[in-house]
């Protein structure tokens, strides 16, 4: 969704992408421009969020060296119930484990975070 192009979908008609795909250049250009703008905006927003969370977590790890999982979430300013890893593991309310998520036994020992010494 974009204010410039609205709720539209421009999909190829099944023909070779290199050939004419049935989408007029006058349509393709604003869609491409808006797609790039949305992706770049989301990328910058994700970086800002991660930088803030990782900075807080790094400072806490410098002070304490080892954190339990719940302490790491708190230090990063992330709610444990909505953290991506919790959702992927199927531990958040109303979720199931994501395909490819490690089995519960493999995750059992991963309840603490320790800073890495390798770079």
Q: 15 pLDDT exceeds 60? A: no
- Exposed, middle or buried by CB within 10 Å (0-12, 13-18, 19+), for 100? exposed
> Does 62 or 102 have the greater pLDDT score?
62
For residue 76, the model assigns a pLDDT of: 86
8 A C-beta contact, residue 115 and residue 65: yes
8 A C-beta contact, residue 69 and residue 81: no
For residue 46, the model assigns a pLDDT of: 85
pTM of the model: 0.46
Q: By percentage, how much of the chain surpasses pLDDT 90? A: 3
Q: 107 pLDDT exceeds 70? A: no
- Domain range summary for the chain, segments of one domain joined by +: 24-78, 79-109
Average pLDDT in the chain: 74
Residue 2, token pair as written in the block:
């974009």
pLDDT level of residue 45 (50, 70, 90 thresholds): confident
Look up tokens 């604003």; give the residue: 30
8 A C-beta contact, residue 60 and residue 45: no
For residue 119, the model assigns a pLDDT of: 46
Which helix (H) or strand (E) element contains residue 19? none
- The region of weakest confidence among 36-45, 46-55, 87-96 is 87-96
8 A C-beta contact, residue 97 and residue 90: yes
Question: pLDDT digits over 61-91, tens only?
Answer: 999 889 998 888 888 888 877 777 777 777 7
* φ, ψ of residue 22 in degrees (nearest 5): 85, 5
């Amino acid at each position: 969704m974009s204010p410039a192009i609205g709720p539209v979908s421009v999909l190829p008609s099944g023909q070779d992408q290199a050939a004419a795909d049935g989408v007029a250049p006058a349509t393709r250009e604003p869609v491409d421009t808006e797609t790039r703008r949305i992706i770049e905006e989301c990328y910058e927003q994700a970086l800002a969020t991660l930088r803030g969370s990782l900075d807080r977590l790094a400072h806490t790890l410098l002070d304490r060296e080892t954190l339990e999982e719940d302490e790491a979430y708190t230090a990063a300013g992330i709610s444990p119930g909505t953290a991506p890893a919790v959702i992927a593991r199927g531990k958040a309310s109303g979720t199931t484990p994501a395909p490819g998520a490690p089995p519960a036994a493999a995750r059992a020992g991963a309840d603490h975070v320790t800073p890495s010494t390798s770079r």
